[in-house]
Amino acid sequence: MINNRLLSLVRKEFIQIVRDPRTLYFTFAIPVIQLFLLGYTATTDVRNVPLAVFDQDRGPAARRLIDAYLAADYFRVIRNVSSEAELRKLIDNGEALAGMVIPPDYGDKVAAGRTATVAFVLDGSDPNVASTSFAAAELIGQAHSSKLTVERLVRRGVLEAMQPSLEVRAQVWYNPDMVSAFFMVPALIGMILQLMTSMLTATAIVRERERGTIEQLIVTPLRSWELILGKIIPYVIIAFFDTLEILVVGTFWFDVPIRGSLTLLLALTGLFLVGSLGIGLFISTVARTQQEAMMLSWFTLLPTVFLSGFFFPLAAMPPVLRVISYVIPLRYYLIIIRSILLKGVGAGSLTTEIVALAIFGVVVMTAAALRFRKRLD
């Protein structure tokens, strides 16, 4: 016979969760769906930028230049045009995002050892594409140019055919292919966990208030802390299951590695959850209907996502926002999860983040618990 008050409450919550198909769907299906959607679509990699080429030279040197661009795998030629007007039209109507104009004397100038100019036109309306294309175009151009110079010097006999003394090859550590999924999946775990736990906790409590059962609960010997814990514990357990679920999908489908300690990851996830559960609890003391609770959960999530370094690097933000980002728990959690999964670091390298999360969790929980008194007014 259950005579533990807290246990009775937790058990009742679980029965309700299990018998409510909508919540179950939300809890287990949506994270995976989100994962697939964002994992595939939210990529910052730029590839296959459609390029239109206006080759006025048509000689072998021009050919070599075009091949160099194609070999880098950033561009794909969609059309060889025969006028600048045509080029402009393609870019205007969006068929091409970039255009290359090779002057008629290109080949001659290269052979003569003089500087040849090639024009590159970019569609600036998508800054992401434009900046990457710009950088790519420059890089490829430089590389090709260096190559030509070396060839010339070798032909002149100044240089022996030798390897260049310095070759800068950017090597991206930990994510050599810069696969976005590796960035996205860990970040997604954080985002989904925060949304889910805060929203589910908030709506669970507000639902009791809407139905009128909260009055009955307050009138029982249940202590405030038991009420809070009883409402939170089921969602903590569910959140852990979700974390594992997402990790499993992330690892086996998206090949996201787990290079660090899984136990450490789960433990620190728990710490992160204290904060987001606190947010949910706080929302429940403010919202009067379940709809309000859901809206407030989304409302707290969106700026959190933007200021956490998820989509946009923190370094690129104005200083004001960067300061604000210091109070966003997701910011620290992202660092933690990416570090553990992709870098395999231990707790020692994460002390700042751990402390920050702990402080946040304690503050939010205390604030919420103070508001959540066993009173109706």
Pairing status of strand 98-102 against strand 119-122: antiparallel
Q: Which is nearer to another protein, 2 or 33 (CB)?
A: 2
What tokens were used for 32?
């995976």
User: Of 137, 271, 249, 109, which Cα lies nearest the Cα of 184?
Assistant: 249
Contact 251, 33 (CB under 8 A): no
Q: Which is nearer to another protein, 8 or 349 (CB)?
A: 8
Q: Which is nearer to another protein, 259 or 374 (CB)?
A: 374
- Give the burial string for 337-364 (b: 16+ CB within 10 Å, else e): bbbbbbbebeeeebeebeebbeebbeeb
Q: Which is nearer to another protein, 21 or 127 (CB)?
A: 21
CB of 20 to another protein, least distance (A): 6
Going 76 to 79 to 82 to 83, the CA torsion angle's sign is negative
CA distance 74 to 71: 8
CB of 229 to another protein, least distance (A): 13
Residues that bind another protein (CB under 8 A): 1-5, 7-9, 11-12, 15-16, 19-20, 211-213, 215-223, 374-377
CB atoms within 10 A of CB 152: 14
CB of 15 to another protein, least distance (A): 6
CB of 370 to another protein, least distance (A): 16
Q: Which is nearer to another protein, 15 or 302 (CB)?
A: 15
Q: Which is nearer to another protein, 160 or 377 (CB)?
A: 377
CB of 373 to another protein, least distance (A): 10
CB of 290 to another protein, least distance (A): 15
- 179: which DSSP letter? -
Q: In what order do the strands lie in the sheet with 119-122?
A: 75-80, 49-55, 98-102, 119-122
CB of 296 to another protein, least distance (A): 24
CA distance 91 to 126: 12
Q: Which is nearer to another protein, 17 or 159 (CB)?
A: 17
Q: Which is nearer to another protein, 91 or 206 (CB)?
A: 206
Q: Is 223 left (phi over 0), alpha (psi -120 to 50) or beta?
A: beta
CB of 278 to another protein, least distance (A): 24
Angle at 268 between CA 330 and CA 174, to 5 degrees: 75
